[in-house]
Amino acid sequence: MRLVAEKLCRSFGPRRVFGPLSFATSPGKVLGVAGANGSGKTTLVKTLVGLIRPSSGSVWLEDEALPAGRTAVRDASGLIGWCAPDLALYGELTPAENLEFFARVSGRPIAREEAERRIAEVGLDPKRLRTILTRFLSTGQRQRVKLAYSVLGSPAVLFLDEPGSNLDEAGHRAVEAIVDIQRARGSVVLATNDPVELALADERVTL
């Protein structure tokens, strides 16, 4: 499966944020989205995942197994994963409860054991966090929970927007591990201005 963008543009009033852009992801590859702060990386990622409608152009998922060979990204929640700084977690739930809730509302419920396994994969101790509300976690710990959320359901295309935000060295290694695992099952769109993270990309779109 691959993500395809064709002549994609997004404007806010008279200001064009990006475009026209045409590109596609490749299975087993990482597509880097590079650019300085304010260049439109987050807006592009939100457009790609269907949270923002493009001003013009199209974006879709393409695969022979899909009806008509393609589907709109906004209709394919089970095929994509997303992690971004403004992804909101519920502070009154524990990390595992957050993952269980998001899985349930997406129509793909998971057991507590699966939620805790995902938490362990990003370097957190699920047993220690069983009674700790998410609002009491550090910013870096919450970022790791968001990373765990992004890979629920083993997505075909994984979108990571500034995944290393507020992470320590161990957290950055967790990001690299997630990217390596994702290469084996699909593709990654990685938006960042961190040169270490950009080094993970096989191809780049520069804004």
Question: Where is average pLDDT lowest: 67-76, 146-155, 171-180, 197-206?
Answer: 67-76
User: Is the pLDDT assigned to residue 133 strictly greater than 80?
Assistant: yes
% residues pLDDT > 70 (the chain): 100
Residue 76 has pLDDT above 80, yes or no: no
* 78 or 29, which is more confident: 29
Q: Which two tokens stand for residue 116?
A: 């805790």
Say which DSSP state 51 is in: S
